[in-house]
Chains A and B, each alone.
Chain A
Amino acid sequence: MVVAHDFLYQKPSTLLDALKLRAQYGEKCSLLAGGTDLVVNIKERRISPDIVIDIKGIPEFSILEERDGSIFIGSAITFTELIESPLIKSRVPIIAESAHTVASVGVRNRATLVGNICSAVPSLDSAPALLVYKTDVVVESVDGKRIIPIDKWFVAPKKTALQNNEIVLGVLVEIPNSENGTAYMKLGRYSGEDLAQAGVGIMISKNLEYKIAFCAVGPVPRRALKVEAFLNGKEFSSITNELSEIIQSEISPITDIRASKEYRRHMVDVLVERGIKLALSRLQGE
């Protein structure tokens, strides 16, 4: 298929050049990393940028490293790189676990975590994983740097807190300082390509502090603070009616082509129970 829409292509080799282009073109510019969303969006005419800025030539974007107790994941880091990174596996394993559930190998070889959170679709798998940690999104424009906490990042479906003169440099994920167990539970029709019908991220620390986050069961991915408050300090054996009511009050799923809202509601309880058990067994196993 010939892509009907014409655009300019630039691949700057410095961050400053990229920021200048971004400032010049604003919302008429699209940023290209893996392209797995962007190319489809341009083909199917959902967007028609004047210019596409390929960020893969800028060294800062390809950094994946530990920085003062946090892990920096640059905007060009692919899901495959995250899955294969010993640093991610040992320090923030739920990021590797959720990356593993994204589409298939051929997509993960190209798609990036930052691209995923920039798409801000309600079903994005990376969100619950990032939300259970203290994560900041680092963005920059010609006017300077800005740090946006991940729970302020998702504004509405397909809308983030990014301004149209800014570029995301990467995310900074704080390594938890206490021992913990994590799990990412994804409900899909089959593995390989499917978007999440519901996703639950869980982290439990040794002193029974719970972090729980959802995707695909509300307009934006988010932490379930009431559920956490209820669970904190408690041993868990199974879902009670009381807990289920709190969980259900925190989600607002819709019916779409992938699942009905009733099914999603039912399955979130199931996923939370399975996820907590798995996270606890990982906590004890270590």
Chain B
Amino acid sequence: MNKITFIINGEKRSIYVEPNDVLLDVLRDKLGLKSPKCGCERGDCGACSVLLNGKSVRSCLVFAIEVDGCEIETVEGISQNGLSVVQEAFIEMNSFQCGFCAPGVVIATTELLRKNSTPTKEEIKEALAGNLCRCTGYTPILEAVEKISHHNKHNSDNTGGTNE
């Protein structure tokens, strides 16, 4: 077994893993972080997305041993101090039905808005194109992100500031 040390949701952890342990399984089964979901296990659906050093990645395509020294954030971390603006918007717009895709969509949206607080509809579609949803037809998901974008634009027009 190999010892790896990394920061998960702001907390430094050291654990032992085998080289063939997949990050998704380690997060869910060793660390009890159940927000990343196992959809396809081959990089196609985005349900397993987490932020690795600030960038969304598919945790089903990462060996846990690779994240030694890295920083990982999951939805548990994003909502540590209460629901984020992104999560609130999804609730308000009733964006999900079964919710299985939701953690991945929250991760992808969070990454997008941290880079660009006022994305256009095209930019939103592009950012979420890798997250498959079997239930909603995507419209309420896209509408929620657009709403945040409008809100941020409005705010920055008025105050010169931005708001994630």
Contacts and interface: CB of A to CB of B under 8 A. Distances in A.
Contacts of B63: 9, 32, 35, 39, 52
B92 interface: no
Interface residues of A, number: 31
Contact of B46 (A1, A9, A106): A106
B58 A193 contact: no
Contacts of A105: 56, 108, 111-112, 126-127, 129-130
A54 interface: yes
Contacts of B57: 106, 109-110
Contact of B42 (A9, A44, A52, A56): A44
A40 B61 contact: yes
Contacts of B38: 1
A69 interface: no
Contact of A104 (B20, B42, B52, B130): B130
Nearest to A35: B61
Given A3-B20, A5-B20, A40-B43, A191 B126 contact: yes
Contacts of A106: 46, 49, 56-58, 108, 130-131
A32 B25 contact: no
B46 A104 contact: yes
Contacts of B76: none
A160 interface: no
A103 B42 CA distance: 13
A284 B56 CA distance: 37
B129 A192 contact: yes
Nearest to B41: A1
Interface string A35-52: 110011011100000001
B20 A42 contact: yes
B62 A35 contact: yes
Contacts of B108: 105-106
A35 B46 contact: no
Interface in A243-278: none
Nearest to B42: A40
Nearest to B115: A84
Contacts of B66: 32, 35, 54, 56
A6 interface: yes
B137 interface: no
Interface string B101-122: 0000000100110000000000
B65 interface: yes
Contact of A109 (B41, B56, B68): B56
A109 B61 contact: no
A80 interface: yes
Contact of A80 (B2, B55, B58): B55
Given A39-B61, A104-B130, A105-B56, 20 more contacts: A3-B22, A6-B20, A9-B19, A32-B66, A35-B66, A36-B61, A40-B42, A54-B66, A56-B66, A80-B55, A104-B129, A106-B57, A106-B58, A106-B131, A107-B58, A109-B57, A110-B62, A192-B129, A193-B44, A193-B130
15 contacts: A1-B41, A2-B25, A3-B21, A6-B19, A7-B19, A9-B19, A9-B65, A35-B66, A39-B62, A104-B46, A105-B108, A106-B46, A110-B55, A191-B126, A192-B129
